[in-house]
Chain A
Amino acid sequence: MSRNAKINTLLLALVAALAVLPLALGLGDHKEEPFAGADAEAETAITEIEPDYEPWFSPLYEPPSGEIESALFALQAALGAGVLAYYFGVRRGRRQGEERAAARAGSGSPAADADA
């Protein structure tokens, strides 16, 4: 592995460790509902501060179940990852094309040689 690839892998491993450690160490065990969303916790906190507060607007569309919701979140991540991968793919292809063209230009006119 090149030095670059090693550093990149290390970065990914660190991110993975940061995500897994809270789960592995059971840091959510003290909670009634471990690893709930911070936004849901904020809603609870609001109701604690102002018990009479009623949300005055509800979402126009609400995913009918947790499964559908996670599907939509996965879709969002997939769309983003797809565009990112497309970007890096295009760039890599372009660079390789340029390198090839440069190599060809460097060795005279190999296209003509190949044809002959």
Chain B
Amino acid sequence: MHIAEGYLPPVHAAAWGVASAPFVVHGVRALTREVRANPESTLLLGASGAFTFVLSALKLPSVTGSCSHPTGTGLGAILFRPPIMAVLGTITLLFQALLLAHGGLTTLGANVFSMAIVGPWAGYGTYVLLKRSGAPLMVGVFFGAFVADLSTYCVTSVQLAVAFPDPGSGIAGSLAKFGSIFAVTQIPLAVSEGLLTVLVVRLLTQSSKGDLLRLGVLTRTESKRREEAAA
């Protein structure tokens, strides 16, 4: 769930917009470069954007008794690296802000920062760390997507806490409040997102081994091992 239209004071809204803009510009460049260098990526890029579209439209009930939705940004960050997700995430957020009155134009900068920048980077970082430390691919994918999802809503909580410090307990008090609304609600949804991302990457290893090898998600030895395991 994104920050609703008009719910960030103008100075905060502008600051988050300024903070997000360079990432999105850089992302657009990375995206054009990728499409030019590897035209065969276009289809999978579309699929990654589509995954974000589906997941961020699914409002799911959570243990806190409220609803939120996953982000779907971990998949694209793992496949194409985070800068490209800055663009795909922004497109999704714009669609929701313009057509669904979900999120907003004034809060777009803040929402892009959480969902399209911090989420993908945190998720990608987790994925790379796990992979480097020798964890199996799917463990990296699960926690990458889980962290991308959960960190998004931790950032949302921080953004609101900084904008609306509690008169008594300050920013920390507000953070506890917004964190219990966003971050705690998000934990089971982040697990769901991790599982769904693992499912999609599993399907990709079956259908698009070439793409995964080119993107460095699968190595030749790993691909062979998986084939043997499946046989």
Contacts and interface: CB of A to CB of B under 8 A. Distances in A.
A59 B65 contact: no
Interface centre among B10, B55, B199, B230 (most CB of A within 10 A): B199
What is the interface residue range for chain B against chain A? 35 or more
Given A3-B230, A23-B61, A49-B167, A80 B192 contact: no
A63 B57 CA distance: 15
A23 B7 CA distance: 29
A107 B196 CA distance: 41
Contacts of A29: 65
A38 B67 contact: yes
B65 A56 contact: no
Nearest to B106: A57
Contact of B202 (A2, A4, A38, A90): A4
Contacts of A7: 202
A81 B54 CA distance: 6
Contact of A22 (B43, B57, B61, B164): B61
B101 A59 contact: yes
A81 B93 CA distance: 17
A59 B67 contact: no
A31 B65 contact: yes
Interface in A1-29: 2-4, 7-8, 11-12, 14-15, 18-19, 21-23, 27-29
Interface string B87-99: 0000000011111
B174 A87 contact: no
B106 A49 contact: no
A73 B7 contact: no
A42 B6 contact: no
What is the interface residue range for chain A against chain B? 35 or more
A18 B97 contact: no
A57 B100 contact: no
B217 interface: no
A31 B52 CA distance: 30
A43 interface: yes
Contact of A35 (B6, B61, B99, B198): B61
**CB-CB nearest 5 A-B residue pairs:** A55-B6, A80-B53, A80-B54, A28-B65, A83-B50
Interface of B: 1-7, 9-10, 43-44, 46-47, 49-68, 95-102, 104-106, 160, 164-167, 174, 177-178, 181-182, 185-186, 188-189, 191-192, 195-196, 198-200, 202-203, 206-208, 230
Given A37-B66, A80-B51, 10 more contacts: A3-B230, A22-B65, A38-B67, A46-B160, A49-B164, A57-B105, A69-B100, A73-B100, A84-B47, A84-B50
7 contacts: A31-B66, A38-B182, A49-B165, A56-B106, A73-B57, A76-B96, A90-B43
